[in-house]
Chains A and B, each alone.
Chain A
Amino acid sequence: MRPRLEPLFFRSPQIRFAISVATCLVTAVMTKASSSPPAWLLQDASLPPMPAALHEQNQAEILRAEVTITISEQGEWREVQRYAVRVRHPGGEKYTRMGVGFVDKSDEIVAADAWLLPATGKRPTAYQRKDWANIAEMNSTTLYTDIRWLTHISTTSAVGDVYGGEVTVIRRHNSGQGQLTFGGELPLRRGRLAVQVPSGWRPDVFWLKGRTVEPRVSADGSVWTWELADVPAIRNELWAPRPFAPYYVALKIQPPSGTSTVIPRLETWADFAQWNERLIQPQCDTSAQIKETVARLTAGLTDPWAKLEALARFAQKQTYIQQYENSGIGFGYRPRLASDVLRAGYGDCKDKANLMEALLREAGFRSHIAIVLVGIGRSVQPDWPGQQFNHAITAIELPDGLTHSGEITHPVFGRLLFFDPTHPWVPLGELPWYEHGGLALIVSDRETRLTRLPDFTPEQTWGSDTRIDLTLLPSGALKGALIELDSGESAAEDRARAHLASPAAKRDYWVKRIARSLLGIQVADPVEEDKTDGRYQTHLEFSAREFGQFVQDKFLLVRLDLLTRNTVPVFPAKVRAQPLVIRPVYDAQEVWLPLPPGSAVTELPKASSLVSDYGRYSCEYTMVKDTLVFKRSLTLRAGTIPPEHYRALQTFLGEVAKAEATVVMIQLQGSSVTADHTATPAKVVTN
């Protein structure tokens, strides 16, 4: 929507895009000031209306989104952000606001001004620095942060008004890098990034999203300008790649070789790995508590894998809490001391990965922090060495004699097993699905390139194998028992529920899953087992007051997709403007229904087998002696589907959904099962 430097602080994937200035609800106090609107804002306000195609139905239009960065010989980063917006329709008033992120006590806000130019022609209102709110970027996992937003909101704007703001900030985060988005849910008239550098310096820009924009360079090579005009708004489509903006650009400032400034020269991945190593390695300290902890956790264990598992489980159990102090150093890439993290018992991803490395070292294992990029549809651009990462995990060098199917071979570090200590429920040997196949940078001064993380099959990533045995009672009611064997993320979800949900909440979870297909459900407490191979098994017994639909007491219509009904992902929109990111799925089920004596299936439904570029589906109905058996399996591969291929995916999933909704007719003549017209629903005991 507006340009903003995206801080590259490591965050948990759960909150990676949680913070937005749009969430800042605190309203500014209005104070009239004498300063007049600047010429650039008056010029923006006089712009003719945007072409209809661009502003149609949008409540506001962004007239200007501009960032001007000036780098001094000493490497000081001075940034001026300008923003202007016109309210076009009711509801657009909420866009008359501006926010700039900064690091407390490191960055310096030099000036902050805003103006509201009423459409009525009345005198503009000016807002000064003291009218801006200074808000900590926090969420429920933040214990402390020095990352803040300077925010201003005009609450008096009306349709036709133009609002603008200008903030000058000096950044001292010593990385010389930043990322910026242009456009979004509102159309953008003019976007501009300008960078002024000393002689011999060079801004290196990479367009991570959107078409590459060529710079305009001043004659002396000191001012580089990238400009965008009339950028249409985009729709926030479900599962579209992030960030939600048509243009996303990364910037790094390259000082000349041999220059001694706070800004590092990062030309290769080796440069970047070394820069990170210098930041991170001093934090991987040891302490008596670390030694004692490792000794306690590994006591009596001789098997290296058992030791690794014990340490991994311990690191995972440390609470995920963000404590951002001195974020200006390394711009959020530097973890807290491992000894501090262990003493407190909490940390964020880089803290936990760093602690894991300290624990492993104490136990005699070699490991490294690996930095990765997570987020829907996001991937590291290998051709642009620089800050593209937002998460930290651990790369463990496997000792001789220890092998694992998830290991990869690295030319420098040998056989590596990656592990994410931030995810509390994905065990050692696996990775959260959003890291599969991604590019990681191992933080070591010996690293020279990116490393591809291992990929896993859908069965391993998000797998679920279920068998359900049903018993149809003479009253038409149903009893059932299911055994579900989950793997990957499905197993992780099971573990989380097992540890965090109350018994009632667990029962409710199962009732809601089954309630899509049965009425009057009761479930017993599930019996669960976390298996040693990483899978998670649940055994559940349940009953339902009614099953299927009786047709004049002659037929019973039943559907056997008890757990999968309406779970096939469906994308009904005819066209799609942005790529679609799909997550992997593997869901196999068998349902066994012994037919009551004397009854028979009128006609077995035809088997289906569908194969596409995105996955495969099969289902079949068979009779095994007197038992009707339904088997189905759906596999979807993870991937990013371009808009032009969207229709093919939609067709495939539509056919799956249709095949899934199969009804079986059971002829009841001669059977003891009848519709229970005398059943009184109120008599069902629910306690």
Chain B
Amino acid sequence: MLLHFTLAPARLSFAVSFHRLMCRMVPFVVLIAWPIGNLSAAHRWEKIPAEQIGAKPETSEATEAGAEVLLAKHRLSFNDSGITNEDFHRTIVYDERAAESVGRIKITVNLPAVLNDCGARVTRADGTVREYEMKDFSRTKAVERGRGGAARSGFAVDDNDHAVLVSGVELYQLAITDLRPGDLVEYYHRIDEDMGARNGYAGQRLIQVQEPFPIRSLSFTIGSEVFRKNVGYETGLSWCNLPNATKEKDGGSQLVVRATNIPAYRRETDALPDQDIRAYIILRLASGNFSFSFENWKEFTNYLAGEARSLERPTSAMKKLAAQIVAGAGTSDEKLRRLYDYCQKNVTNYDYEDLPDGVHLSNAERRELTPTTALELHCGSATVITRIFVALARASGLDATLALTTRSNSMLRADRAAFGWEFMNEWVAAVQLDGKWHYYAPGMRWAPFGQLYWQDQGTAVLLVQNGKAVWAVRPVVTDTVNDVRARKGQFKLSEQGALTGTVTETLSGQYAMSWRLRNKVRKPANITAFVRAEVRREFASAELSHITIEDDRDNTHPVLLHYSLRVPDFATLAGGRIIFGHDVLNARATPRYTSAEPRLQPIRFQGGSTVHDRMEIELPEGYELEAGDAPQPVDYADKAGIKHAVVLVYVPAKNLIRSDSTLSIGLNGKIIFPAKSYAPLKAVFEQINKAQTHTLVLKPKPGHVSAPAVPAATPAPEIEQPEEVGNAPEA
């Protein structure tokens, strides 16, 4: 409903962490706080254009949403002491089902900002008007904090280095409950924020402008430059995922971004990260002492060139250590592997694990920990371990550098120029081998050498090459050999249809990483409960017992799960026949996609993956195969990077069926597809589902039956070629 011009905690951590980074390189500016005067002046409602009164939806999307924001205006004005933040919305109700949502107006004020004015107006289709003033809004101090020293600044950094609100939140709410189709609801508010109290500031505000209802017209204005001139603040304004937005100077001192027909936001499965698909206005604000411009990357990359090199400069002790580690290594790859393993095994990563016995570090000590000290203490943060790795690699004569990237699973394809440098907020290691950059994540505790978390694949990095910063994209890798979930089952099927047996599951690569990440702090009972839940998602009646887990927490080793499984109603009985699924653990799976509605957003798989299932089912005595159909193979490796194959073997001597199935997704790096590919992709997954839920029929007559036959393949569906991952270099 509202433009969220507030620092959401998740975003706040962005701003703060980079703010901290910046503080290392520029003097920290202390500004004097000016009190904000009462700038309030009675709001004057604009005349509503005649065509908007009683307007009808012009798009099917507006009809579907049940309401539409006809006009949304947001304005930031700078004055001598801070920012005035004004918001105006005009929304029309098309359908009764949207009335309650439109009628709930909620204004969130993060203290010490002050709401100085707000109001609402309802104009019915017959022209009658009802107005609400500020006194009609309910005011609740949702979060009230104490008088701590940090309270004045609005946010602080806690001991886990997370930004937290410290000074409180106030809510102003209004409920208009008698709205009808055709009613126009307008509201406005003005919030004053004392920027002087921030004691110097550099940060971005990511303002999400997409709402549950489509927006017909949006404007976002940065007003007066008084503050900028007097205090030396710089401002910048950009946007992303607003395809028809324009920016203009208005009156010489105002920047205005205008956009029209912004669709409503709908969450969809397998979607790209938010920054890639949701509409944002990005406001940048900094004290003039932060010397580089927000619109130009050049100054930032100059900074990066110097900073990245200084952070990883190896000491003489490191050079000595590196020589010991790589002694005898024949290739650069071997050197890197040894250094990588050394960093992961000899430096406890306290972002993931407890500190070594006898080591105690305060939060301040952790923050200030250098690579040299970390090597002495044998512990460090993920970032420090990455820095150690780069320093050791450089000491070994390799062309290694730190590179900046975004947080995991963000901005795969977003317009990085729009987001700006502040979102490049994590250091990673990059090594140039044979003219090509390779990326390493030693700080990611569970990432083995040569592998990246799937969330990091395809994300952009900014690195320094020959003194210049360049953009690159970390590769998407579908490793069907190493990133595998392999399940082996040995079962016995009873005449009553019950299936009993054991399963061994081997998780390697991405699967092992995900497992270890997920279960990092889980207690053993919860881990076994998780295993149970995973199986029961498909088989509600499954009984699991003897669950054992082998995980030595060594990245080079897989995670092994063993359990006994009994499914009392696995097979169905039809007269004298027994009918059962060959792919035991997928026998009751539902297709990946079910919705028949048009897809709005591109589809993105979570990296590549391969699942290999080998299921052996001993058949009940006295039964044989009625018919030997096997499921068709599904092969769209070229077009969609998806392949599913089943080999069914009947072994008469042992009276068993062996089912080998392999499902690979993301082959050839294909993990992102345009929205129009949804229907064919859905059809592909339905074919896979059909193969997975394929059943075999047993009849009660002994005799020889040949191996199942494979029918002719179904012609391939048309699938749009996947889009390129990442953007072209820009810097």
Q: Which residues in A have some Cβ–Cβ distance to B below 8 Å?
A: 26-27, 29-31, 57-59, 89-91, 120, 122, 129-136, 138, 142-145, 155-156, 159, 318-319, 321, 323, 344-346, 499-504, 507-508, 511-512, 515-516, 519-523, 545-546, 549-552, 554-555, 557, 559, 566, 570, 572, 574, 602-605, 654, 657-658, 661-665, 675, 677-684, 686-687
Q: Kindly list 15 other residue pairs between chains A and B, CB separation below 8 angstroms, not including A136-B142, A321-B177, A663-B572.
A: A29-B158, A30-B158, A57-B525, A122-B360, A130-B147, A136-B140, A323-B138, A507-B597, A519-B689, A545-B686, A549-B694, A602-B574, A604-B575, A654-B569, A664-B574
6 A-B contacts (beta carbon < 8 Å): A131-B146, A345-B176, A515-B594, A550-B629, A665-B577, A686-B598
Whether A682 lies near B718 (C-beta < 8 A) is yes
Q: Number of residues in B with C-beta < 8 Å to the partner?
A: 93
Q: Given B145, B577, B628, B714, which contacts A133 in the complex, CB threshold below 8 Å?
A: B145
Q: Which residues of A contact B307 (CB under 8 A)?
A: none
Taking A91-B523, A658-B569, A664-B574 as contacts, is the C-beta distance between A499 and B145 under 8 angstroms?
no
Whether B64 lies near A502 (C-beta < 8 A) is yes
B residues 675-691 in Cβ contact with A at 8 Å? 678-680, 682-684, 686-687, 689-690
Q: Which residues of B contact A500 (CB under 8 A)?
A: 97
Closest residue of chain A to B719 (Cβ to Cβ) is A682
Whether A603 lies near B595 (C-beta < 8 A) is no
C-alpha gap A181/B687 in the complex (Å): 52
Of listed A511, A550, A663, residue having the most chain B CB within 10 A = A663
- Does B671 sit within 8 A of A, measured CB to CB? no
C-alpha gap A138/B591 in the complex (Å): 39
Whether A90 lies near B354 (C-beta < 8 A) is yes
Q: Which residues of A contact B598 (CB under 8 A)?
A: 686-687
- Does B554 sit within 8 A of A, measured CB to CB? no
Whether A132 lies near B146 (C-beta < 8 A) is yes
Taking A136-B142, A323-B138, A682-B680 as contacts, is the C-beta distance between A546 and B576 under 8 angstroms?
no
Q: Which residues of B contact A156 (CB under 8 A)?
A: 159, 363
Pairs A-B, 10 closest by C-beta atoms: A682-B717, A345-B177, A681-B683, A130-B146, A603-B575, A91-B521, A570-B540, A658-B569, A144-B138, A29-B148
Whether A27 lies near B596 (C-beta < 8 A) is no
Whether B66 lies near A574 (C-beta < 8 A) is no
C-alpha gap A122/B143 in the complex (Å): 32
Q: Which residues of B contact A559 (CB under 8 A)?
A: 572
Whether B695 lies near A549 (C-beta < 8 A) is yes
Whether A681 lies near B542 (C-beta < 8 A) is no
Whether A661 lies near B572 (C-beta < 8 A) is yes
Q: Given A131, A155, A502, A551, which contacts B148 in the complex, CB threshold below 8 Å?
A: A131
- Segment at the interface with A among B161-169, B339-347, B647-655: B161-169
Q: Given A344, A557, A658, A687, which contacts B579 in the complex, CB threshold below 8 Å?
A: A557
Q: Given A30, A144, A502, A555, which contacts B627 in the complex, CB threshold below 8 Å?
A: A555
- Does B156 sit within 8 A of A, measured CB to CB? yes
Rounded to whole Å, the gap between the CB of A615 and the closest CB of chain B is 17
Taking A507-B597, A554-B627 as contacts, is the C-beta distance between A519 and B686 under 8 angstroms?
yes
Q: Which residues of B contact A346 (CB under 8 A)?
A: 175, 177
Q: Which residues of A contact B139 (CB under 8 A)?
A: 144
Q: Which residues of B contact A551 (CB under 8 A)?
A: 626-627, 629, 697
C-alpha gap A237/B629 in the complex (Å): 42
Q: Given A129, A143, A552, which contacts B629 in the complex, CB threshold below 8 Å?
A: A552
C-alpha gap A519/B694 in the complex (Å): 13
Q: Which residues of A contact B711 (CB under 8 A)?
A: 675, 677
Whether A135 lies near B594 (C-beta < 8 A) is no
C-alpha gap A97/B576 in the complex (Å): 62
Rounded to whole Å, the gap between the CB of A61 and the closest CB of chain B is 13
Whether B158 lies near A552 (C-beta < 8 A) is no
Whether A90 lies near B521 (C-beta < 8 A) is yes
Whether A681 lies near B177 (C-beta < 8 A) is no
Rounded to whole Å, the gap between the CB of B335 and the closest CB of chain A is 34
Q: Which residues of A contact B574 (CB under 8 A)?
A: 557, 602-603, 605, 662-665
What does the 1/0 interface line of B618-649 toward A look like (CB < 8 Å)? Answer: 00000000111100000000000000000000
Q: Which residues of A contact B25 (CB under 8 A)?
A: none
Q: Given B177, B524, B596, B687, which contacts A319 in the complex, CB threshold below 8 Å?
A: B177
Whether B697 lies near A557 (C-beta < 8 A) is yes
C-alpha gap A604/B540 in the complex (Å): 27
Closest residue of chain B to A122 (Cβ to Cβ) is B360
Q: Which residues of B contact A58 (CB under 8 A)?
A: 523
Q: Which residues of A contact B524 (CB under 8 A)?
A: 57
Q: Given B147, B159, B521, which contacts A155 in the complex, CB threshold below 8 Å?
A: B159
Taking A29-B148, A59-B523, A663-B572 as contacts, is the C-beta distance between A136 and B594 under 8 angstroms?
no
Q: Given A344, A503, A602, A658, which contacts B497 in the complex, CB threshold below 8 Å?
A: A658
Q: Which residues of B contact A680 (CB under 8 A)?
A: 714-717
Taking A29-B148, A132-B146, A665-B574 as contacts, is the C-beta distance between A570 and B360 under 8 angstroms?
no
Q: Given B97, B143, B577, which contacts A501 in the complex, CB threshold below 8 Å?
A: B97
C-alpha gap A665/B576 in the complex (Å): 11
Q: Which residues of B contact A546 (CB under 8 A)?
A: 686, 690
Whether A511 lies near B595 (C-beta < 8 A) is yes
C-alpha gap A142/B138 in the complex (Å): 10
Rounded to whole Å, the gap between the CB of B132 and the closest CB of chain A is 12
Taking A345-B177, A515-B594 as contacts, is the C-beta distance between A27 and B686 under 8 angstroms?
no
Rounded to whole Å, the gap between the CB of A509 and the closest CB of chain B is 10
Q: Which residues of A contact B718 (CB under 8 A)?
A: 682
C-alpha gap A70/B182 in the complex (Å): 59
B residues 109-148 in Cβ contact with A at 8 Å? 138-148
Q: Which residues of A contact B575 (CB under 8 A)?
A: 602-605, 665
Rounded to whole Å, the gap between the CB of B646 and the closest CB of chain A is 14
Whether B714 lies near A31 (C-beta < 8 A) is no
Whether A29 lies near B166 (C-beta < 8 A) is yes
Rounded to whole Å, the gap between the CB of A650 and the closest CB of chain B is 9
Q: Which residues of B contact A136 (CB under 8 A)?
A: 140-143, 171
Closest residue of chain A to B593 (Cβ to Cβ) is A515
Q: Which residues of B contact A319 (CB under 8 A)?
A: 100, 103, 175, 177
C-alpha gap A654/B694 in the complex (Å): 23
Taking A143-B173, A346-B175 as contacts, is the C-beta distance between A29 and B138 under 8 angstroms?
no
Q: Which residues of A contact B523 (CB under 8 A)?
A: 57-59, 89, 91
Closest residue of chain B to A685 (Cβ to Cβ) is B679
- Does B541 sit within 8 A of A, measured CB to CB? yes
Whether B142 lies near A512 (C-beta < 8 A) is no
Whether B579 lies near A503 (C-beta < 8 A) is no
Taking A504-B64, A657-B569, A677-B714 as contacts, is the C-beta distance between A572 and B97 under 8 angstroms?
no
Taking A31-B148, A136-B143, A145-B140 as contacts, is the C-beta distance between A686 and B596 under 8 angstroms?
yes
Taking A57-B524, A344-B177 as contacts, is the C-beta distance between A519 and B591 under 8 angstroms?
yes
- Does B466 sit within 8 A of A, measured CB to CB? no
Whether A507 lies near B159 (C-beta < 8 A) is no
Rounded to whole Å, the gap between the CB of B37 and the closest CB of chain A is 28
Of listed B178, B579, B694, residue having the most chain A CB within 10 A = B579
Closest residue of chain A to B543 (Cβ to Cβ) is A572
Rounded to whole Å, the gap between the CB of A674 and the closest CB of chain B is 12
Q: Which residues of B contact A143 (CB under 8 A)?
A: 138, 173, 175
Whether B164 lies near A26 (C-beta < 8 A) is yes
C-alpha gap A10/B441 in the complex (Å): 53
- Does B568 sit within 8 A of A, measured CB to CB? yes
Whether B142 lies near A138 (C-beta < 8 A) is yes
Whether A508 lies near B714 (C-beta < 8 A) is no
Whether A508 lies near B568 (C-beta < 8 A) is no
Closest residue of chain A to B599 (Cβ to Cβ) is A686
Rounded to whole Å, the gap between the CB of A549 and the closest CB of chain B is 6
- Does B96 sit within 8 A of A, measured CB to CB? yes
Rounded to whole Å, the gap between the CB of B584 and the closest CB of chain A is 15
Q: Which residues of A contact B142 (CB under 8 A)?
A: 135-136, 138
Whether A663 lies near B579 (C-beta < 8 A) is yes
Whether A681 lies near B684 (C-beta < 8 A) is yes
- Does B151 sit within 8 A of A, measured CB to CB? yes
Rounded to whole Å, the gap between the CB of B118 and the closest CB of chain A is 15
C-alpha gap A136/B140 in the complex (Å): 8
Q: Which residues of A contact B96 (CB under 8 A)?
A: 499
